[in-house]
Each structure stands twice: as C-alpha cells, then as structure tokens.
Structure 1
Amino acid sequence: MDNPNDVKELIPEFFYFPEFLENQNDFDLGRLQLSKERVTDVVLPKWAKSPEDFIYKHRKALESEHVSAHLHEWIDLIFGYKQRGPAAVEALNVFYYCTYEGAVDLDAITDEKERKAVEGMISNFGQTPCQLLKEPHPVRLSQEEVEKRKAQQDSSPLNMFEHLSDLKSFFVEGISDNVPLVKAVVPKNQSHSFITQGSPDTMVTVSQNCLVGTHGWLPYNKNISNYFTFIKDPTVTQRLLSGPFAPGVDLAAGLFVVSHDGKLLFSGGHWDNSLRVTSLVKGKTVGQHIRHMDVVTCLSTDHCGIHLISGSRDTTCMVWQVLQQGGAPVGLSPKPIQVLYGHTDEVVSVAISTELDMAVSGSRDGTVIIHTVRRGQYMRCLRPPCDSSLPLSVLHLAVSWEGHLLVHTCLEGKASLKDKNTLHLYSVNGKHLCSERLKEQVTDMCVSGEYVVMGSEQGYLCIRDLYSLSLSAEPMAMRVPVRSVSVTKEQSHVLVGLDDGKLIIVGVGKPAEMRSSQITRKLWGSGKRRTQISAETEYNPQQESA
C-alpha cells in the first residue's frame, strides 16, 4: 500500500475470458526454478474447478451485494474527490505526477531528449482518468432497499426466477381449442406513445391449424391473484396464415418468429420453399422470399432484432437483414446477406447473435456449425459427444447473452427415452463445458438470463441452471405435451402452449387471502376504453385429468 509504483489491477479478462488462463497454444514458458516443473496453464485457487468456474465466480463477486455497497468508494478514488489533494494523500491514492491530467505540457518541452524521457515515463506509469467529481459519490441502494421500493410500486412485476419455489400456473382457454398451440410470445420491444401509456402489450399466438391471434397482455396488477391480465383477440378465428404448408412439415415453434415490435410474423415450412412475412396489423402476407432450394425448416432472430437466420432441408442456412423504417421492422432484405454451407443433411435448428457475430446451425447429421454473421466465415464445427452408433440429430439450439451455446441432441431410431436426449453446454469459443442426460423428449427450449426453460412431449415444464444444467426447481406437470415455451420480457412469466390448445401462464402466485375470482379492469388504448374480465383459472393437471 505504501509503494507508489505498485499499481496492479485486474484486467477485464478476469471477468469474461477464461481462455487467457490456459496455455492452449502449448508455448514453452520455461520451468519453475525449484521443482523444475514445466510452466503451462495458470494454477487456479482451490475454490475454482476450472477456468470457466473461476471467471463465473469472479463475475458473481463483481455483481455481489458487497461490491455494490462499496462501489461509491471506488468511484471516489478513481474519478472523484479522493483522486487529488489531501483526500488522496489520506487514502494512499497518490501516483506519479506525470500520470495526472494536465500535469505536463509536452508541447512546452523544447529539448527532444527531455520530451522523450517524459513520454517514456507517461507510457510506463499509465494515465490517471479525468477527475469528474469533487464531492463524495452517494451510496448505492442495498438489495433490501431496492426490493422495498419495488414492492411499493404498482407496476413492477416480480422476476419469476427469483421466486422459483412460489411458481403457479394458470390456464387460458378458447384460443385454439383441441388444436396444438405451437407459438405464444410477447415481443420485447413494443413501444407505447404517451397517449397509450399503460395500455396492453401484444401477445402473439399461432395454432397448428394456422390461426393467428394478437391478444392483449398486461404482466402485473396488484389486485389480481395471478399477476397478469389477458385480453383475447376476438378475431382469432378469422385470421389464417396463407398456406398450404409443405407435406411432412411438423408445424412447431421453430418455424415462426415474431418481430420485436409485434407487428410482423416470419414463417417457414411453406410448400414453395419460401420464407414469408405476414403483417399482424393488416392480417396479410407482405413479403415472400424464395431463395432456398428446399423447404425452410427453422427460423430464429437475434436479441436486438437486426438479423434473422433460416435453415432448410437443402442443408444451407441464410442470414437475412430485418429492414427498418422509423425504427420499426417492415420486412426482410430482398436477398440474404449470407448463405452458409457445411452440413450434409437437413438443418433442423438455428440460432443467431449479432452482438457476438455468431450464426449457429444444427443438423440431422449430428453437427453444430458456427459461422460469423458479418462475413459468413466458417469458424468451427462441434460434434456433441455420443456413445451410441445411432444417428444423432441436433433438434434445438440457443445462444445466451454472454455467448454460452446450448445444444439439445436426440438419438434417431431409439425407442426408449433412456439416454435418448441430452443437453450440452459449450463456451463461446466452442469448448465443451458439460452435458446432462434428459428423461424426456424436449419439444421447445429457450434461454433467459442464467436459466434454461424447456417443455417436453411428456408434459413437463423444466427450469434448469444455464451453467450446471441441473434443475433449478421441480418440473411442473402440464398433463399434455408441451408445444412451445417463451419467457416474457420482464422475466415475470413463462408462456406455455399445450397440445390441447390451452395457453398456460406460469408466474409467481399471490397468497390465497389476496385472491378474487373475478375482477373487472378498465384499460385505456387506441383512444377508447376497453373493459376486460380477468377470469383465468389456476391450472391443476391432476384435477384436469380426473
């Protein structure tokens, strides 16, 4: 602490880049002087199982309550009043004079040797940031204080992943009775003008018979026991996707993508090999792109809605740019910006991350191929581990915000469920981190934050930890096969589409004494008042089956 030359700090790689701890190129770094042991990977502390675990725990520590409570002290030292003057001396925060802003005027030094010497000192000691604050920075609110303030707000939905032991399920009927509900999603970037502030978001549903619904959705109401209000689209029985779909195509969640503003529906699986764009406002097809040589089998969009990726039976993938007008999606580019090759069988799953420059595709040939989005450059091919000689298909893919790649594989032709389905986790650079055998047939899967949400043919909704793939809560029984799962933008609810057409909404339930069977709520939107009776019923699979 007393040595002004000791200015060590943790570089950003300590919080996101586990590869820097490994000597992956096998460089000759010499040997230890005493033991003569060869120097290779960084020796990790005992609390870290692997470089990935080390980085994960470092990042958790950085976001911990202790750091939050002392964050203002660091700001005072680096940017604040303790950077200079008596406060800096008292805090042992004084550095070499050349490092401070404005301490040296290089242009005023006429002697060339002296100038180079000063430049060398500045390069050697680094540079202190600009002083931004002259007064102490306020203390950040504690987690307990934040929770108290949230509880006082009427419009703050609870994060379901913070209350996994209190989840309850409610069902909504009448959307597509006895017809599988293959898509249910609340787009995350829906904008509301000042006039329509507080009006419902749009929830989009797609049934297996191509019926499309745009329903009203409000995630929170403190007067209602189930924490949401659902307003059924009265025209749902009249709005059909243009067809027909290609023979043999299984209409599943992966064939449909809704734009982030909830105005457009992108669909594949059509008989003419097209990728179609349907306006959910006008209820008609506004775009038809025929570039694949065979049927489009899967679609996916990135976190920010800039790009869309399609996979096809023709073994290729295509990356499309989502055209914007006034900040809102209006369609797709006339032709794909990238055509990606490499598979030897039909592509059945895709995922894309523009932020990480990753386009990922999975095929019935058992491979996962990663390309770059911007240049379409091949990066690597992953082959998930498998002990069986049976054909392996990659049925579902998901990329987390931090770049973790989740892969669901299934053995084709295996009759029993034992060891048939497996979940694999890879790092952003393609390192296999862990695998988990599944006891059910996964039908849909998504990643939200640090959790994986999955639905199965056996009628279960499972929530798993992204990093260990272990169950974070007991599986929730849905009685009938699950066809689609999605998490709402506030992470307050999971929308589950079932084989019998029911929409199950899973969220944090309120105590029994605060429930009421029917509550009328007045909603404002589109310049007119609408009244909706929220009468969703708690879903009890045992009671249903009886």
Structure 2
Amino acid sequence: MKLTFNVRQGLTILTIFSLIFISMNRVKSEEESKPFKIFTGHTEKVEAIAFSADNKILISGSRDNTLKIWDIETGKVLHTLSTESQGITSIALNRDRQILVSGDIDNSVKIWDLQTGKLLITLNGHSQPVEAVAISPNGKLVVSGSDDRTINIWDIDSGRLLHTLIGHPDYISDLGISPDGKILVSSSGDADYMAKVYGNIKVWNLQTGKLLYSLKQASPVGNIIISPDGKTLFSGSFGQLESPNSAINTIMIWDLQQGKLIRNFSENTESLESITLTSNGKILITGNFQGSINFWDWKNRQLLHTLKNDSDPINAIAISPDQKNIASSSDDTIKLWKTPPMEKTLLNE
C-alpha cells in the first residue's frame, strides 16, 4: 500500500501538536501560579510569617492576638499561642535556638520556646506599640523598634535592656541585622521633604549601639532586608512625597559597607507591603497591595515571574530555607505557593 503525505497535512498535524503543547504548558503554568495550600484559622489580619529551619513548620502572627504554629504537610495547627495583648505586629525566629520573638501592640516583646510553645519572658520598655523585632544570628540579642521612635536592644536570656537607640523622628517600621551580627539597620516612615527631614534608614553598631551613618531616602521606608553576604541592603518605600526625587514604591539598593546607593527601580503599584530574598541573595521577592508577588533579578532590574493573589493585598511574604515554597498572608489567610521555575543560576548558591 502506498502512503502519501503532503505539506498541507504536515502543517496541519504540526499545528495540532503545537496547540496541544501550548495548552498543556498553559495549564501547567496556571497550576504553578496558584497556591497549593491555604491555611485558615486566624480571625484578623496576619501581619508576619516565617518558616522553620527544617521547612516543616510555618509560624504566623496576627492582629487576633495569637501566634499559630502550623504543620505544613497537613495544614493543621500544632500550637496556638495567646499573647493576651491587642495583637501581633511582627515576629522573628532564631532557627538554631528554636526561639520565637513577637512584637505586640501592647508595647511589649515576648520570647517563646518554639518547640513547646511556652512563653519564656516578656520584655517591657516601650511606651507605644512594637512594630518590628529582630534576633541576632547567635541568638543572644533581641532588638525591638516601636511607634515611640526608639529601638531597644535586649539580652535574650536575662531580659536586661542593654541599649536604647534614638534618632528617628517617627515610628520604626523595620529592623535588620547583618549575618555576622555586627550591624543593625533600622528604617522609619520619617521622610518629610518640605521640612527637609531625611535619614529614614540608620545603620548602627549592634554591640555598642553607636550610630554609624544614615541613608537619605525621600520616601517613607516600610521594609528593609540585608543580603546573605552582608554587603547589600534593600529598602522598600511605600508612598510618594512632594519631592522631585521621590517615587511610588521604589526599591533602593545600597552598598551597606560604603553607605552608597547602587541602583533603584519602581514597582509601579499602589503600595509595596513586604520584601524578602532568596538564600543566595540573587532574587528579590516583593509583595504588594494589589495582590502580586514579584520575583526580580535585581542586578539587571528584570522581572522574572509574578504570582497573582487575586485582588487581595499581600501583608507579608516568606521563602522556605530550601527555596521550594513561598508563603504569603492576605487579611486572615495564609497561602503556600511553589517557587516559580527560574534559571538555576539564579536559584543555586
């Protein structure tokens, strides 16, 4: 039997297979762009989230006055820690010592045993709500920043107040500690272009409490994060001032050692709510008010991928230590996403 095959048939078959391939990849892409697990249980806004070192546990802090410790595999709550306060604003985790720190609206800082859920100590020293907390890499110091415009450095074991840092003319929005534990960075919403008030980022010696220098940024700073090698600082602004140099939701990238601006770029969104980094520091991840989680090759200012959280604003984001999962919070809900496929050179150490 003689078989015949013409060009038109070949193109038709090729087109069909191409459409099938495109459709399959589109479905796969849509699945990868949706959360694979949703955690419900909080009754008010979830302000902060963090992963445990073994990637098995997720911790969340909410305005409903509770901390919840979740089993990621089952989605079940292992512990609910009640703070008996007016709400949680921030959390920090020392994965080596299994210590959890929470900042509260009732002006206090609480230190918890992560494994047992036991409250170890309550630190009182601020006169207004605590907006940010951080733990030194060696787990010996806790730092808290408050609406009272002060930063307190505490001994985590004794609860003794070591230093109170002043200098910000407005509330403390975020804190960061360098990987070597020597440098503390604080940010604030204290920008006022007309009054010529700048310096919303301050860099301190963590051990002595001495101010090393200030970084001038013409927009209020909501989030900061230090790169894993301790050389680069990322700051995210969340508004626009009447300044020729201000921009909506600008991400500023600084040389932390020299105190110089390296580069910046804008998200062009309503409000930048949260930022984090992959473990190698090559990809910057941002969450915004419009419900998008964006992945940036920050050195090239290139947007690599976007996860869309419907229209729900992103309150907080975190990436698991193994880099496989992204957690985001919106209102009282937490969602877990698979990290989007990106170039291995950007994800690998």
TM-score (norm 1): 0.49
Q: 394, 399, 421: which is aligned to 2:221?
A: 394
Q: 1:383 to 1:240 in 2, by over 3 A?
A: same
Structure-2 separation of matches of 1:493 and 1:234: 18
Render the CA deviation track for 1:509-541: whole Å, top value 9, x for unaligned: 8xxxxxxxxxxxxxxxxxxxxxxxxxxxxxxxx
Pairwise CA distance, 1:168 = 4.1
1:259–1:499 CA distance, 2 compared to 1 (3 A): same
8 Å Cα contact 1:186/1:203 also seen in 2: yes
What is the distance in 1 between the residues matched to 2:97 and 2:240? 36
- For residues 404-443 of structure 1, what are the structure 2 equivalents within 5 Å? 404-411=232-239, 419-428=247-256, 429-440=258-269, 441-443=271-273
The corresponding residue for 1:257 is 92
In structure 1, how many angstroms separate the alpha carbons of the residues matched to 2:47 and 2:335? 10
Cα distance change of structure 1 residues 306 and 278 upon mapping to structure 2, 3 Å threshold = closer
User: 1:204, 1:262 within 8 Å by CA — same for their partners in 2?
Assistant: no
In 1: Cα distance, 2:299 partner to 2:153 partner: 28
Q: 272, 275, 291: which is aligned to 1:445?
A: 275
- Closer, same or farther: CA 401–169 of 1 in aligned 2, 3 Å: same
In the alignment, which of 274, 279, 295 is matched to residue 463 of structure 1?
Answer: 295
SS in 2 for 1:231: coil
Letter in 2 for 1:431: K
Name the SS for the 1:411 alignment partner.
coil
Look up the SS of the partner of 2:333 in the other structure. Answer: coil
- 1:298 paired to 2:132: yes
Q: 2:190 aligns to what?
A: 365
The question of whether the paired residues in 2 share the 8 Å contact of 1:409 and 1:422 is answered with: yes
Matches within 5 A, 1:506-545: 506-507=338-339
**Alignment CA distance shift 1:177-1:376 (3 Å):** closer
> Structure 1: how far apart are the matches of 2:77 and 2:30?
35
1:464-508 CA-to-partner distances (Å, cap 9, x unmatched) read 12334432x132211121122111111222112223514222235
- Alignment of 1:310 with 2:144, yes or no, is yes
CA contact (8 A) 1:169 1:507 kept: no
Contact residue 349 and residue 362 of structure 1 kept, 8 A: yes
Corresponding residue of 1:48: none
Contact 1:454–1:461 at 8 Å: present in 2 too? yes
Report the residue type matching 1:478 in the other structure: N
Alignment-derived partner of residue 183 in structure 1 = 48
Length-normalised TM-score, structure 2: 0.75
Counterpart of 1:361 in 2: which secondary structure? strand
| SS of structure 2 residue aligned to 1:308 | strand
User: What SS is found at the alignment partner of 1:343?
Assistant: coil
- The answer to whether the Cα contact below 8 Å between 2:64 and 2:86 also exists between their aligned partners in 1 is no
Aligned equivalents of 1:467, 1:423: Cα separation in 2: 12
Structure having the higher strand fraction is 2
Counterpart for residue 88 of structure 1: none
Query: SS of the counterpart of 2:82?
Result: coil
- Sort the Cα spacing of 1:305 and 1:240 in 2 relative to 1 into closer, same or farther, 3 A: closer
Which residue of the partner structure matches residue 377 of structure 1? 210
Q: Which amino acid aligns with 1:231?
A: T
| Deviation readout 1:306-352 (Å, 9 max, x if unpaired) | 433211122111223444xxxxxxxxx42233322211122111111
What is residue 163 of structure 2 aligned with on the other side? 338
Cα–Cα, structure 1 residues 177 and 412, in superposed 2: closer, same or farther, change >3 Å?
same
Q: Is the Cα contact below 8 Å between 1:404 and 1:426 reproduced in 2?
A: yes
Amino acid of the residue matched to residue 323 of structure 2? Q
Structure 1 residues 170 and 346: CA distance shift in structure 2, 3 A: closer
> For 1:232, which of 75, 91, 103 is the aligned residue?
75
- The percent identity for this pair of structures is 17
Q: Which has the higher helix share?
A: 1
Inter-CA distance 168–307: structure 2 relative to 1 (3 Å threshold): farther
Q: Secondary structure at the match of 1:277?
A: strand
Q: Which residue of 1 aligns with 2:308?
A: 477
Query: Does structure 2 retain, via aligned residues, the 8 Å contact 1:177–1:502?
Result: no
Superposition deviation, residue 299 in structure 1: 1.2
- The aligned amino acid for 2:204 is H
Specify the alignment match of 2:112 in structure 1: 278
Query: Is the 1:302–1:351 Cα contact (8 Å) retained in structure 2?
Result: no
Distance 1:292 1:378 in 2: 20
C-alpha distance in 1, partners of 2:187/2:109? 19
Secondary structure class of the residue paired with 2:318: strand
- Residue 434 of structure 1 and its aligned partner are, at CA, apart by 1.0
**Secondary structure of the structure 2 residue equivalent to 1:337:** strand
SS at match of 1:505: strand
1:269-296 per-position Cα deviation (integer Å, ceiling 9, x unaligned):
232x211123344434321111223321
Counterpart Cα distance in 2 of 1:286 and 1:313 = 24
Number of matched pairs: 296
